Amino acid sequence: MSVTKQAALIAAAGTLVLSSLGMTMGARFSPAATTTGAPLVGLTMYGSPNYTRNFNPFIPNNLSSATDWIFEPLYIVNPLTGRQTPWLATSYRWTNSDKTLTFTLRKGVKWSNGTPFTAADVVFTFDMLKKNPGMDTNGIWQSLSSVVANGSNSVSFHFKTVNVPDYFYIAQTMIVPKAQWSKVANPQKFTDPNPIGTGPFELSSFRPSEVVLRKNPRYWQASKVRVPQLKFPALTTNTLTDLMLSEGKLDFATIFTPNIQKTFVAINPRTNHYWFAHSAAVSLYMNLTEYPFNHVAFRQAMAYAINKTNIWKRGEYGYETPSNQGILPPSQQGTWVPKALATKYAYPYSPKKAAAALASMGLKKNAHGQIINPKTHKQLTVTIQVPTGWTDWVQDCQIISSELGALGIKVNVYTPSVSTNFSDLNLGHFQMALDGPGIYASPWFDYNQILNSAESAPIGQFAPTNVERYHNPQVDAWLNAYVKTTSVAQQRTLMHKLEQVMFTQVPVVGLVSGANWYEYTTTHYTGWPNPKNPYSLGVDYPGNLLIATHLQPVR
CA distance 104 to 120: 13
pLDDT digits (tens, 9 = 90+) for 431-461: 999 998 777 878 899 999 999 999 999 999 9
Distance of alpha carbon 191 from alpha carbon 121, whole angstroms: 19
Q: How far apart are CA 223 and CA 209, in angstroms?
A: 31
Q: Residue 397 pLDDT > 70, yes or no?
A: yes
Indicate if the pLDDT at residue 134 is higher than 80.
Answer: yes
pLDDT confidence bin for 23, thresholds 50/70/90 = very low
Q: Which of the listed ranges 6-10, 357-361, 480-484 does the model predict with the highest average pLDDT?
A: 357-361
Q: Whole-angstrom Cα distance, residue 231 to residue 233?
A: 6
Q: Model confidence at 14, in pLDDT bands (50, 70, 90)?
A: very low
139 sits in the region (left: phi over 0; alpha: psi -120 to 50; else beta) called left
Q: pLDDT of 476-504, one tens digit each?
A: 999 999 988 878 899 999 999 999 999 99
pLDDT of residue 45: 67
Percent of the chain's residues with pLDDT above 70: 92
Where does residue 476 rank: exposed (0-12), middle (13-18), buried (19+ CB within 10 A)? middle
Q: Which domains occur in the chain, in start order? A: 3-196+517-553 (3.90.76.10), 280-515 (3.10.105.10)
Q: What is the pLDDT of residue 242?
A: 85
pLDDT tens-digit series, residues 281-296:
999 999 999 999 999 9
Q: Which of helix, strand or coil describes residue 260?
A: helix
How high does pLDDT run on average in the chain?
90
The candidate with the shortest Cα–Cα distance to 535, out of 524, 543, 525, is: 543
* Rg of the chain over all Cα atoms, to the nearest angstrom: 24
> pLDDT at position 79, please?
85
Bond from prior residue into 49 cis (ω within 30 degrees of 0): yes
Give the pLDDT score at 48.
Answer: 65
What CA–CA distance (Å, rounded) separates 444 from 519?
Answer: 29
Number of other residues whose CB lies within 10 A of the CB of residue 49: 14
pLDDT digits (tens, 9 = 90+) for 305-338: 999 999 999 999 999 999 999 999 887 888 889 9
Rounded average pLDDT over 518-527 = 96
Q: What is the pLDDT of residue 262?
A: 93
Q: What pLDDT shows up at residue 36?
A: 66
Residue type, 531: P
**Exposure class string for 154-187: b at 16+ Cβ within 10 A, else e:** bbbbebeebbbbbbbbbbbbbbbbbebbeeeeeb
Average pLDDT of span 119-134? 97
Q: Which residue from 222, 299, 272, 215 is spatially nearest to 470, judged by alpha carbons?
A: 299
Q: Give the C-alpha distances (Å, rounded to integers) separating 476 from 36, 48, 129, 239, 450.
A: 51, 37, 23, 42, 11
Tens-digit pLDDT profile for residues 168-215: 999 999 999 999 999 999 999 999 999 999 999 999 999 999 999 999
For residue 310, give the amino acid letter: N
Rounded-to-integer distance, Cα 69 and Cα 57, Å: 11
In the three-class reduction of DSSP (H, G, I as helix; E, B as strand; rest coil), residue 230 is classed as strand
Average pLDDT, integer, range 510-528: 94
Helix (H, G, I), strand (E, B) or coil at 407: helix
Query: Is the predicted pLDDT of residue 244 greater than 60, yes or no?
Result: yes
- Kindly state the average pLDDT of the residues 407-430: 95
- 10: DSSP letter: H
User: Is the separation of the CB atoms in 297 and 431 below 8 Å?
Assistant: no
Residue 430 has pLDDT above 90, yes or no: yes
Please say if the pLDDT value at position 132 is more than 60. yes
What per-residue confidence (pLDDT) applies to 235? 84
The pairing of strands 372-373 and 378-379 is: antiparallel
- pTM higher than the cut 0.85: no
What is the band of 43 on the pLDDT scale with cuts at 50, 70, 90? confident
Residue 418 has pLDDT above 70, yes or no: yes
**How many residues are given for the chain?**
555
Whether 91 and 171 have beta carbons less than 8 Å apart is answered as: no
Number of other CB atoms surrounding residue 225 within 10 Å: 20
Taking residues 538-545, what's their average pLDDT?
Answer: 94
Q: Would you state the pLDDT for residue 441? A: 75
Q: Which residue has the higher pLDDT, 486 or 373?
A: 373
Higher per-residue confidence, 478 vs 22: 478
3-state secondary structure 74-115: CEEECCCCCCEEECCEEEEEEECCCCEEEEEECCCCECCCCC
Q: What are phi and psi of 240, to 5 degrees?
A: -65, -40
Q: What's the CA gap between 446 and 547, in Å, rounded?
A: 25
With CA atoms as reference, report the closest residue to 536 among 525, 547, 526: 547
Question: What three-state secondary structure class fits 352?
Answer: helix
Residue 257: pLDDT band (50, 70, 90) is confident
- The Cα 445–Cα 79 span in angstroms is 11
* Ramachandran category for residue 362: left, alpha or beta (phi over 0 → left; psi -120 to 50 → alpha): left
Say what percent of the chain tops pLDDT 90: 74
Which residues make Cβ contacts (< 8 Å) with residue 424, sequence separation at least 6?
385, 416, 430, 433
Report d(CA 204, CA 177) in Å as an integer: 19
Non-local (6+) Cβ contacts of 395 within 8 A are 314, 315
Query: Strands 40-43 and 252-253, how do they pair?
Result: parallel
Task: Assess whether pLDDT exceeds 90 at residue 379.
Answer: yes
Residue 15 clears pLDDT 60, i.e. is over it: no
